[in-house]
Structure 1
Amino acid sequence: MPHLDPTDALDLDDELDEVERLIRDTVSAFVRDRVTDHVAEWFEAGTFPTSELAPELGKLGLLGMHLEGYGCAGASATAYGVACRELEAADSGLRSFVSVQGSLVMFPIHRYGSKEQKQEWLPRLASGEAIGCFGLTEPDQGSDPGGMRTQAKRDGGGTSRSSGAESGGDWILNGTKMWITNGSVADVAVVWARTEEGIRGFLVPKDTPGFTTGEIHRKLSLRASVTAELHLEDVRLPHSAVLPGVTGLRGPLSCLSEARFGILCGVVGAARTCYLSALEYSTTREQFGRQIGGFQLTQEKLARMQVEFVRSQLLALRLSRLKDTGKLRPEQVSLGKLANVRAALDIARSARTVLGANGITTEYPVLRHANNLETVLTYEGTEEIHTLVVGESVTGLAAYR
């Protein structure tokens, strides 16, 4: 009986063009050479070698790769999705770093920033010379960013380099942001704050007086990733620090939609790693005188994992093509994140049961991925929020309040 390719049962790689396959192979090789053998140690130690990996990721063109100009690769959405998949096959923390840099920091500067802001930050961020973070979530405001307490008030009497009345004077920011990936290692933070005109985005360099960070420790998930709090106490910024191209929640929400696309593609890689780990183990582990993969209950698990994996592959590819044609809608992204993260988490949990007690160690990747996916299920919109987005989309009735 012919065998299905467990990594591509429906020959979906045939749908990729030459450039997309080259990116797939390049990222896969980088992950294999630089990450796979070390990521379990990073996870256990709760560290991520940002200063080492950022320039390498930049050299490969992976930082802001879906953006045009300013040192960005200008790759297709499908190519970006494939890259995210290969990165997250190693660890969600690695893909998160690339997603935050490209989709949450570079994207808003690229879309809403001034010419000067783009020239100052995008080339450095694309090369990995500079690191960015995205400040939206607050200690008391997660799923409802419209209730943020961080405020920015005008101060026309400022003495910074802004040009006074013509530029609108300085801004004074106060507030706290929580659960910020890259927060304590970032050179610039994209901070969203409430103003009299509505929510605005601000570029806050790390050495700005009054701006401090504190790294969050004792995590049980996404440990190979830097997570921090941002504190802004009377932070004075020139008017030139404001992202001029957007006012209101559509600014940060558009960034989140970009990041969610990377997630729905990336988790396919985590699911693949867990599935392949369980499959290999089932053909080498023997009990009762035979390989455990030959038992019906184990095959049921493997078959169910294969079905969920294929579904997530199909969904990621379809949404990637929609994004490439400019037709992808935010509610479709929500559907994709909801479905694919659920599938990846189910696969990781099931794979752990195939590995038995061995599955709880860092010798195998499955429980590390499962733990990471618990965070992925929550960030960039919780499972509940995406459920309500899909629910509203199909009924026309909002159920958030």
Structure 2
Amino acid sequence: MTNVLLHILPIFGAFLLLAYWRAPLWLSSLLLVVATAVGVQTSAMPASVLIVVVVLLALINIKPIRRAILTGPIFGVFRKITPAMSQTEQEAVDAGTVWWDRDLFSGKPDFDRLHAIPQATLTADEQAFLDGPTEQLCAMLDDWKISTQHKDLPPEAWQFIKDQGFLGMIIKKQYGGKEFSNTAHARVVTKIATRSGSAAVSVMVPNSLGPGELLQHYGTDEQKNYYLPRLAKGIDIPCFALTSPDAGSDAGGIPDFGKVCRGSYTDPRTGVHHENVLGIRLSWEKRYITLGPIATVLGMAFKLYDPEHLLSDKEDIGITCALIPTEHEGVHIGRRHYPGTAVFQNGPNWGKDVFIPMDWVIGGKDYVGQGWRMLVECLSVGRCISLPAMSVASGMVSSYTTGAYSRIRNQFGLSIGRFEGVDEALGRIGGMTYQMDAAQRLALAGLDMGEKPSVLSGILKYHNTERMRKVINDAMDVHGGKAVCTGPRNYLAGAYGAIPVAITVEGANILTRSMIIFGQGAIRCHPFVLTELRAAMNKDLPAFDTAVIGHIGFAISNAVRAFVMGLTGAKLVASPKSGAMAQRYRNVVRFSSAFAFLADMGMASLGGSLKFREKLSARLGDMLSGLYIATAALKKFNDDGAPKEDLPLVAWAVDSALYDCQVAMDGFMANHPSRALAFLMRALVFPLGLSLKAATDTDGTKIARLLMEPSVARDRLTQYMYRSKDENDPVGVLEHALKAVIETEALEGKLRNAHRQGTLKSITAGERLAEALSTGLITTAEFAAVERARRLRREVIMVDDFDATLTFSDDNAIHRDILNQPKALDVVATAKVNMVESVKIATETRPVS
């Protein structure tokens, strides 16, 4: 028995090594045959064992035998249990491309490939637009007035947007557009969103999923030549109508319909009447359509039927997209929804038996029934840009304002940022902002390379908007009453009120997490699943056979890799970088293998029912998302030149993302219906227990500190934020106040100590400051610096108050300083005289050079 064990252990070790390195099937089989033969030769095991091994390996390696005995029966079962894909599901699966997400699904991400991806950068023209017209637009915007007085952007802002080409950023130059990169589009939206969410939405919609993008990809030459120049110049305002009262997230189930027929119409663009033309009689009711109330051209998605077979033999043509001038007879627009504090133009539209010519179908009659494919392909791009960019903006604003406010605001003689509860919130704000920006930067790099990463777009949409919710909540908590009471001085309430919009639109977050991320990712990114599904649908046994054998080897390899790395803490894994990030790269590799293994076990054990076990599917999606966010943060850090000042940010971002991945794995196994399989999965993935820790308090504190003072790290984190330099601006005053407070912290400490020791006996802080000057404790220059810092601090912490009808706010509340002002003002006057005298004396006694 001992001889057998001594012989089996090396064989088992060799098997683990080959599985870990994913050796081909023939090499592993050959090793096993040779090792068994040696065992028989040395009498360690009977000859019958060699016969069994050879027969089993022949069954696996000889394709005709394998198909007849093994994969053929599996194929028959697989075809029966695999649910059929609807046309809309098939088109969603086929939409877009797979990219870095495939590496994460592989269990062996290629970091050299990751770091070779070009950075998402701006051209000189794009940077000039960001620094010029975008800055000018931001300076024109007052979000309080937009949301409470105008209930829209002011006319001059709308005109500026049109004149400067904001509505045509994605339109090609040949049609009069800017032809900006996806990165530039996103950064413009981010900067505007740091000033006004309403303005950002108004700019981003024409440049996202809508008529402009659809026309460029699918429009006829006539449609492109007419509409694109008008859209680029803002002559036409576009909207796209997809959502119906009975079809929100289930866009494929829209009830709006059209029937192919012949009819007559008057073209509102030319006034020309047309008789007896082939077209569509259309009825619809849409809602939540951004820019719908003011649109001049209405993009429309509807189901098309051909009962008279005027186009084809099919009666149900499928989802179709058309462009309809809103002045066309029967089109009803103009009413508005009221989406909280983000008061952008949004509303319903409808029509009954409206006849449109076939020429108004996007792409003409050749593209009838192609609407769903068109939409999901464009959505895979748009979901990487607009809402994720607004989320990044919220993170930047929250980081910038909350960090400054935490240093400026004092309680118990300390800046509130020094308290660990606030420190913890600041760490989360900065860390999540780093994650959001990194996640979008990597996706933008892919988009600018021509990729359309549909799975990553779902990750970005869900996780960036959820992190937006978290950072704004933390920022609100730190600001307290200042953020609760709305008014012109409140720079957070607008973003807080707009959170539900971002969470809901472009696919509700609950649906995106529970059904889309893994549901689409498992099929598109897995190296074998899509091939298996297509082979089953096409009744292609040879293709299925090849895929299944590869899949089995893939699953075994990932199980072995996860187990070995779990035992060793991935210490033996090669890392592309040394230093503080090395182990984090290794952890990514470990968790990538573990995720790939768990995904395979989930699909193998639950089959098609996994689609309906949304909680488990969501956790698998969380694993993939955590891996993506961690690798995006590592990529951002590397692209930025690995600045040491950013180490706490990237450490927090990566550690937090991988910890979230671990939590999702633990939850998946804890809730898997097969307890025996769950036990096996846990033993392989976490042989030593849950080993990763959450982001440390130390890193959180370092992040809090860098947000609480001017620094290169803070500037990098908030790079695309609009910053007013005006002391009278609610956000602009923060930087002035922050610098003034930092410069006078030592003086304030000196004054407090003097008061505690009884040197300064006055009651109020203002009186003590005057007393300190009069007794010579501080100089006139120091007095002026403290007085200015206190004035700016008051400017920052003041909350708007209104008249009894809540109509008019008091812009001069800053000067209503009841406790400190009178005596302090007298001393200020004296101080100014003394300063003038000091300057005069110094000038008169200065030696001649």
Assess same fold via TM > 0.5. yes
From 322, 325, 348, the equivalent of 1:202 is 322
Q: Deviations over 1:102-138 (max 9, x none)?
A: 2222111222212121122111111112211110000
**What one-letter code is carried by the residue in structure 1 that aligns with 2:163?**
K
Does residue 86 in structure 1 map to residue 191 in structure 2? yes
Partner Cα distance (1:110, 1:15) in 2: 23
Q: Deviations over 1:199-256 (max 9, x none)?
A: 1111111111111024234442422x01110111121112211112641411222333
**Residue in 1 that maps onto 2:415:** 291
Q: What stretches of structure 1 of length at least 5 have no aligned partner?
A: 1-12
**What one-letter code is carried by the residue in structure 1 that aligns with 2:495?**
H
**Residue in 2 that maps onto 1:58:** 162
Q: Secondary structure at the match of 2:166?
A: coil
**Residue in 1 that maps onto 2:175:** 70
Q: Which has the higher helix share?
A: 2
Partner Cα distance (1:339, 1:154) in 2: 42
Residues 1:199 and 1:157: Cα distance change in structure 2 (over 3 Å) = same
Task: Check whether the contact 1:31–1:90 (CA below 8 A) recurs between aligned residues.
Answer: no
**Residue in 2 that maps onto 1:10:** none
Give the C-alpha shift of residue 25 in structure 1.
2.0
Task: Return the structure number with greater relative CO, CA threshold 8 A, min gap 6.
Answer: 1
Residues 1:119 and 1:181: Cα distance change in structure 2 (over 3 Å) = same
Does residue 269 in structure 1 map to residue 376 in structure 2? no
**Residue in 1 that maps onto 2:381:** 258
**Residue in 2 that maps onto 1:383:** 509
Task: Check whether the contact 1:221–1:375 (CA below 8 A) recurs between aligned residues.
Answer: no
Task: Check whether the contact 1:20–1:78 (CA below 8 A) recurs between aligned residues.
Answer: no
**Residue in 1 that maps onto 2:660:** none
Residues 1:297 and 1:220: Cα distance change in structure 2 (over 3 Å) = same
Does residue 47 in structure 1 map to residue 173 in structure 2? no
**What one-letter code is carried by the residue in structure 2 that aligns with 1:61?**
G
Give the C-alpha shift of residue 143 in structure 1.
0.2
Give the C-alpha shift of residue 83 in structure 1.
1.0
Q: Deviations over 1:172-221 (max 9, x none)?
A: 11010010111110001001111021111111111111110242344424
**What one-letter code is carried by the residue in structure 1 that aligns with 2:293?**
S
Partner Cα distance (1:307, 1:54) in 2: 35
Partner Cα distance (1:159, 1:139) in 2: 28
**What one-letter code is carried by the residue in structure 2 that aligns with 1:343?**
R
Q: Secondary structure at the match of 2:611?
A: coil
RMSD: 2.4
Identity %, equivalent residues: 23
Does residue 117 in structure 1 map to residue 213 in structure 2? no
Q: Which has the higher strand share?
A: 1
Q: Deviations over 1:358-390 (max 9, x none)?
A: 102232221210221221111011112221221
Matches within 5 A, 1:313-324: 313-324=437-448
Partner Cα distance (1:51, 1:127) in 2: 16
Partner Cα distance (2:375, 2:356) in 1: 20
Residues 1:129 and 1:159: Cα distance change in structure 2 (over 3 Å) = closer
Does residue 178 in structure 1 map to residue 287 in structure 2? yes
Give the C-alpha shift of residue 357 in structure 1.
0.8
**Residue in 2 that maps onto 1:359:** 483
Residues 1:337 and 1:26: Cα distance change in structure 2 (over 3 Å) = farther
Matches within 5 A, 1:97-112: 97-103=202-208, 104-112=210-218
Task: Check whether the contact 1:90–1:270 (CA below 8 A) recurs between aligned residues.
Answer: no
Task: Check whether the contact 1:136–1:252 (CA below 8 A) recurs between aligned residues.
Answer: no
Q: Deviations over 1:289-339 (max 9, x none)?
A: 222122121111111110000111111111111000012311111111111
Task: Check whether the contact 1:105–1:132 (CA below 8 A) recurs between aligned residues.
Answer: yes
Partner Cα distance (2:407, 2:183) in 1: 33
* Count of residues in Structure 1 that have an aligned counterpart in Structure 2: 384
From 276, 281, 290, the equivalent of 2:405 is 281
**Residue in 1 that maps onto 2:340:** 220
Partner Cα distance (1:327, 1:256) in 2: 13
Give the C-alpha shift of residue 21 in structure 1.
3.3
Task: Check whether the contact 1:192–1:252 (CA below 8 A) recurs between aligned residues.
Answer: no
Residues 1:50 and 1:131: Cα distance change in structure 2 (over 3 Å) = farther
**Residue in 2 that maps onto 1:399:** 611
Partner Cα distance (1:395, 1:118) in 2: 37
**Which stretch shifts more, 185-194 or 97-106?**
97-106
Residues 1:89 and 1:158: Cα distance change in structure 2 (over 3 Å) = same
Return the TM-score normalized by structure 1: 0.89
Does residue 158 in structure 1 map to residue 264 in structure 2? yes
Task: Check whether the contact 2:398–2:429 (CA below 8 A) recurs between aligned residues.
Answer: no
Q: Deviations over 1:138-171 (max 9, x none)?
A: 0111001111111111221435569888xx7121
Task: Check whether the contact 1:188–1:205 (CA below 8 A) recurs between aligned residues.
Answer: yes
**Residue in 2 that maps onto 1:127:** 233
**Which stretch shifts more, 262-271 or 203-212?**
262-271
Does residue 234 in structure 1 map to residue 353 in structure 2? yes
Partner Cα distance (2:328, 2:120) in 1: 50
Does residue 169 in structure 1 map to residue 278 in structure 2? yes
Task: Check whether the contact 1:176–1:231 (CA below 8 A) recurs between aligned residues.
Answer: yes
Residues 1:109 and 1:394: Cα distance change in structure 2 (over 3 Å) = closer
**Residue in 2 that maps onto 1:5:** none
Partner Cα distance (2:280, 2:223) in 1: 17
Residues 1:155 and 1:366: Cα distance change in structure 2 (over 3 Å) = same
Partner Cα distance (1:241, 1:83) in 2: 31
**Residue in 2 that maps onto 1:302:** 426
Partner Cα distance (2:381, 2:494) in 1: 25
Q: Secondary structure at the match of 2:319?
A: strand
Return the TM-score normalized by structure 2: 0.43
**What one-letter code is carried by the residue in structure 1 that aligns with 2:611?**
A
Residues 1:16 and 1:75: Cα distance change in structure 2 (over 3 Å) = closer
Task: Check whether the contact 2:455–2:521 (CA below 8 A) recurs between aligned residues.
Answer: no
**Which stretch shifts more, 237-246 or 22-31?**
22-31
Does residue 243 in structure 1 map to residue 362 in structure 2? yes
**Residue in 2 that maps onto 1:329:** 453
**Residue in 1 that maps onto 2:831:** none
**Residue in 1 that maps onto 2:470:** 346
**What one-letter code is carried by the residue in structure 2 that aligns with 1:242?**
V
Residues 1:330 and 1:173: Cα distance change in structure 2 (over 3 Å) = same
Q: Deviations over 1:22-80 (max 9, x none)?
A: 33323551243111xx1112112471137543432233332231232311111111111
Residues 1:194 and 1:50: Cα distance change in structure 2 (over 3 Å) = farther
